[in-house]
Amino acid sequence: MCAVNLADFDTDDTGDMTRDEALRELAGLNERIAELQARLYAEEKRAVLVVLQGIDAAGKDSSVKHVFRGTNPQGVRVFTFKEPTPEEAAHDFLWRYHQDAPAVGMIHVFNRSHYEDVLVVRVKELIEEERWRSRYDSINDFERMLVREGTVIVKCFLHISKHAQLDRFRERLEREDKHYKFSANDVRERRNWDAYQEAYEDAINLTTTEWAPWNIVPSDHKWYRNLVVARVVAETLESLDPQWPAPDEDLEAYALDELEESTASKR
Phi/psi region, residue 204 (left: phi>0; alpha: psi -120 to 50; beta: rest), is alpha
Residue 228 lies in a domain: yes
pTM of the shown model? 0.92
Domain presence at residue 142 = yes
Residue 90 lies in a domain: yes
Q: How confident is the model over 171-188, as a mean pLDDT?
A: 85
Residues 6-30: b if buried by 16+ CB within 10 A, e if exposed: eeeeebebbeebeeeebeeebeebb
How many C-beta atoms surround the C-beta of residue 246 within 10 A? Answer: 7
| pLDDT for res 256 | 61
Identify which of 62, 232, 72 has the alpha carbon closest to the alpha carbon of residue 152. Answer: 232
Average pLDDT of 190-194? Answer: 95
Indicate if the pLDDT at residue 195 is higher than 80: yes
Task: Quote the pLDDT of residue 1.
Answer: 60
Do the domain assignments include residue 182?
yes
Domain with 145 in it: 6-265
The closest alpha carbon to 13, from 224, 226, 233, belongs to 224
Beta bridge mates, 48: 107, 152
> Does residue 1 sit within a domain?
no
pLDDT tens, 78-95?
Answer: 999 999 999 999 999 999
- pLDDT (tens digit per residue) in 242-252: 999 988 776 66
| CATH number of the domain enclosing 23 | 3.40.50.300
| Residue 104 maps to a domain | yes
Q: Which residues lie below 8 Å from residue 32, measured CB to CB, with a gap of 6+?
A: 234, 237, 238
Domain count, the chain: 1
Question: Among the residues of the chain, which ranges form H helices?
Answer: 19-43, 60-67, 86-89, 95-99, 120-123, 129-148, 162-174, 184-190, 193-207, 222-240, 251-265
